[in-house]
C-alpha cells in the first residue's frame, strides 16, 4: 500500500494538496496486522496517529464492571489517535483487527521534527484534527448530557 494514497483517501486529509500529502507521507510508516491481532491496547502509551488504509477495526473499552464494551467499527479512511500528535497520553480503548488490516501511522516525534522543516503541512493537519474533533464533540453533545447528573 502506498502511504500517500491511503492518506489521500482519508477525509482527515481532504483539504490537502498532493504536495502536502506527500510531505506527511514521507514520515509515515505502513503497517500490516493479521485478523484478530491488536493495533493497540487500552491504557497503552499513545503517540501515533493511525489511518486505516484497508480492512476493518473494532474498538472496545473496559466497562465499570470489568467487561469489554463495544465502541464501534472503523474501516478504510478512518483514523484513530489523532490527539496523539498534539500530546502523548494513554489509549482510551483497544483496537483489534477484524480482518487483515493495513494502516499508515505517523508518530508524534516524527511529526514534531517535521514541524520545524515543513510547518505549513503540519499546521494544516493540526487544524484538520481540531476541526474534526470539534465536530465529534458537537455530534456527541446529547450523549455527553446523559453523563451529567442534574
Q: Measured between alpha carbons, how far is 108 from 94 in angstroms, rounded to an integer?
A: 19
Residues of the chain with pLDDT under 50: none
Predicted pLDDT at 65: 82
Predicted pLDDT at 68: 86
Amino acid at each position: 500500500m502506498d502511504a500517500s494514497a491511503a492518506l489521500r483517501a482519508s477525509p482527515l486529509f481532504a483539504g490537502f494538496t498532493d504536495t502536502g500529502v506527500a510531505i506527511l507521507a514521507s514520515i509515515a510508516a505502513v503497517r500490516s496486522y493479521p485478523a484478530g491481532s491488536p493495533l493497540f491496547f487500552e491504557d497503552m502509551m499513545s503517540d501515533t496517529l493511525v489511518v486505516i488504509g484497508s480492512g476493518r477495526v473494532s474498538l472496545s473499552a473496559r466497562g465499570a464492571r470489568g467487561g469489554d464494551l463495544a465502541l464501534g467499527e472503523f474501516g478504510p479512511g478512518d483514523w484513530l489517535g489523532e490527539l496523539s500528535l498534539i500530546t502523548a497520553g494513554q489509549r482510551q480503548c483497544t483496537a483489534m483487527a477484524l480482518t487483515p488490516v493495513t494502516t499508515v501511522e505517523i508518530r508524534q516525534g516524527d511529526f514534531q521534527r517535521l514541524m520545524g522543516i515543513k510547518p505549513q503541512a503540519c499546521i494544516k493537519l493540526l487544524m484538520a484534527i481540531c476541526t474534526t474533533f470539534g465536530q465529534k464533540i458537537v455530534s456527541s453533545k446529547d450523549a455527553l448530557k446523559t453523563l451529567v447528573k442534574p
